Structure 1
Amino acid sequence: MKRLFGFGRKRKGPPGGASPPCNPGAYELREKELGKLHRAAASGDVAQVRQALRKHGLDERDKAKTPLHLACANGHSEVVSYLVENKCKLNLCDSDGRTPLMKAVQGQQEECVAVLLAHGADPDLADAAGNTALHLAALAPNTSLAGQLLEHHALIDVRNEEGCTPLSLAVSEHQEEMVEFLLKKGADVHVGDRSARTPLMTAASGGKLNLIKLLLRYGADVSHKDINGWTAEDYAVIHGYSR
């Protein structure tokens, strides 16, 4: 996935006014590119946000981002709370189709995620690639965030544009703890992607024995075939893991 960098407190960094790399959920922005309200939200200055709102709307966009997007991406839970309590729109999307909740999850900003979910943010909206907040939590990986999303009824077996579920992504990234967490929460071990490739096949392709054992323990079907007629064993052999 494309890595995104952040806007935040001023630090020493490269010339040109760009901020140095921050967290994976933050935006790559220059301070001068944003208006007063959005700069305040991105830097976590509640007083400046309050003042700027006298002239600007809560949901005003700047570079396709709302103040809530910027506050969530940089983990400023006080600004998030202030905006939410003043009835900003929770589910607006940025240019990548991502909601503030997705940005908070992507950056592993747990307090921001909690505020958004408590006020009704939709956990099942999908970005331009079809990923939901739970897909992003699986990739992080962060079981605490995944748990918050599931407690607010996020769909566990939702598929992105490639047909991958959060479980599939966790397997592909070899995230054993996340895989076991999702399985314990009821993720379907049999859901395949657009090529009918199951999580077991993905684990076999990478020769990840612990993941293979884990998936088998939850009932993964070793005889299942993808659209090419290949089984998990075939994937293991093809990728040099015949043992």
Structure 2
Amino acid sequence: MKKIFGFESWKGKSPFESLTSQQKTNTGLTPEACNSITSWNRCHIRDKDLRKIHRAASVGDAQEMEEILLKSLRHLNDRDKMNRTALHLACANGHPKVVALLADSKCRLNLCDNENKTALIKAVQCQEEGCATILLEHGADPNIMDIYGNTALHYAVAGQNMDMAAKLLSYKANIEARNKDELTPLLLAITENKQQMVEFLVKKNANVHAVDKMKRTALILAVNDPSSDIVRLLLQQGVDVFAKDNNGWTAKEHALKRGFNL
């Protein structure tokens, strides 16, 4: 993860926009994930590749879905070429009525697609809170990780969806889950300079002493933006200002390098 969250100026643009394509992949959050606020990453659908149940799910045809399920449940968990189920497609495209029909028919809630994303991860990533709520109420697991190590909570943080984050936590989502770059949801919120999400997670007792795989503390990550109130918030939480990253640098040294006194 070289210079993934490098200490360059991100003023006037999102942190994600300052990264190269390779860096975006290496963060553990793909472009579609980090841009989930502005890009909902709806599932790409090729009609000829889909069974009847997948087509009904993708367009949200609840009546057609009900007829399919009444005839037979044999295809309830069938996959398309990307290993997506009808539940994945309904969630990603925001069709809660279809999601409810599938869940009530006892479909398998935690099946994963080619990126190891569950239907719940897709619902959260695509900001479909209604679909995500139905899944959680039916017992979907909020702690399954995709191929990047991200959980549904990581995607809620990336989308700065505090309502969704709160709901996930109420269903026992792991607030300290680490993705492949050892980023907890709190560290991810800090790297993306999402102040409200950071404040929310701190109030929910997220570990402010966590470090990423380069041993960068929350404070080291936060001094990337010296104007942010995140630095002040972390200092108020009693974080260690002398902790060093893999390069032997403290948050103070990173701050001085950027021309301000921590």
The TM tier, using the shorter chain, reads: 0.7 to 0.9
- Quick one: which amino acid aligns to residue 95 of structure 2? H
Q: How far off is 1:158 after superposition?
A: 1.0
1:46 maps to which of 49, 58, 62: 62
1:31 aligns with 2:31: no
Q: Please name the residue that 1:60 is paired with.
A: 78
Kindly indicate whether the alpha-carbon contact (under 8 Å) linking 1:101 and 1:116 is maintained by their aligned counterparts in 2. yes
- Residues 96-175 of structure 1 mapped to structure 2, 5 A cutoff: 96-175=115-194
- Residues 87-98 of structure 1 mapped to structure 2, 5 A cutoff: 87-98=106-117
Q: Please name the residue that 1:83 is paired with.
A: 102
Once residues 50 and 119 of structure 1 are traced to their aligned partners in structure 2, the CA distance between those partners, rounded to angstroms, is 18
Q: Please name the residue that 2:13 is paired with.
A: none
Once residues 166 and 61 of structure 1 are traced to their aligned partners in structure 2, the CA distance between those partners, rounded to angstroms, is 30
- Quick one: which amino acid aligns to residue 47 of structure 1? Q
TM-score by length of 2: 0.81
Q: Please name the residue that 1:226 is paired with.
A: 245
Change (3 A) 1:123 1:231: same
Q: Any idea what the Cα deviations from partners look like across 1:71-122, whole Å, max 9, x if unmatched?
A: 1111111001000000000100011110000001001111111111111100
- Quick one: which amino acid aligns to residue 39 of structure 1? R
Q: Any idea what the Cα deviations from partners look like across 1:132-157, whole Å, max 9, x if unmatched?
A: 01111110010000000000111101
- Quick one: which amino acid aligns to residue 67 of structure 1? A
- Quick one: which amino acid aligns to residue 101 of structure 2? Y
Once residues 139 and 235 of structure 1 are traced to their aligned partners in structure 2, the CA distance between those partners, rounded to angstroms, is 25
1:2 aligns with 2:18: no
Q: Report which stretch shifted further, 60-69 or 206-215.
A: 206-215
Kindly indicate whether the alpha-carbon contact (under 8 Å) linking 2:53 and 2:76 is maintained by their aligned counterparts in 1. no
Once residues 217 and 25 of structure 1 are traced to their aligned partners in structure 2, the CA distance between those partners, rounded to angstroms, is 37
Q: Please name the residue that 1:8 is paired with.
A: none
- Quick one: which amino acid aligns to residue 235 of structure 2? L
Secondary structure of the 1:41 match is: helix
| Cα RMSD (Å) | 1.6
Once residues 173 and 103 of structure 1 are traced to their aligned partners in structure 2, the CA distance between those partners, rounded to angstroms, is 20
Kindly indicate whether the alpha-carbon contact (under 8 Å) linking 1:123 and 1:133 is maintained by their aligned counterparts in 2. yes
Q: How far off is 1:23 after superposition?
A: 4.8
Q: How far off is 1:236 after superposition?
A: 2.0
Q: Please name the residue that 1:17 is paired with.
A: none
1:204 aligns with 2:223: yes
- Quick one: which amino acid aligns to residue 78 of structure 2? E
Q: Give the length in aligned residue pairs.
A: 225
Instruction: List runs of 5+ in structure 2 lacking aligned partners.
Output: 1-29
Secondary structure of the 1:27 match is: coil
Kindly indicate whether the alpha-carbon contact (under 8 Å) linking 1:206 and 1:236 is maintained by their aligned counterparts in 2. no
Q: How far off is 1:233 after superposition?
A: 1.4
Q: How far off is 1:183 after superposition?
A: 0.4
Q: Any idea what the Cα deviations from partners look like across 1:1-22, whole Å, max 9, x if unmatched?
A: 2228xxxxxxxxxxxxxxxxx9
- Residues 13-28 of structure 1 mapped to structure 2, 5 A cutoff: 23-28=39-44
Once residues 239 and 156 of structure 2 are traced to their aligned partners in structure 1, the CA distance between those partners, rounded to angstroms, is 23
Q: How far off is 1:162 after superposition?
A: 0.4
TM-score by length of 1: 0.88
Kindly indicate whether the alpha-carbon contact (under 8 Å) linking 1:25 and 1:105 is maintained by their aligned counterparts in 2. no
1:194 maps to which of 203, 213, 217: 213
Q: How far off is 1:208 after superposition?
A: 4.0
Change (3 A) 1:23 1:29: farther
Kindly indicate whether the alpha-carbon contact (under 8 Å) linking 2:79 and 2:86 is maintained by their aligned counterparts in 1. yes
Change (3 A) 1:102 1:125: same
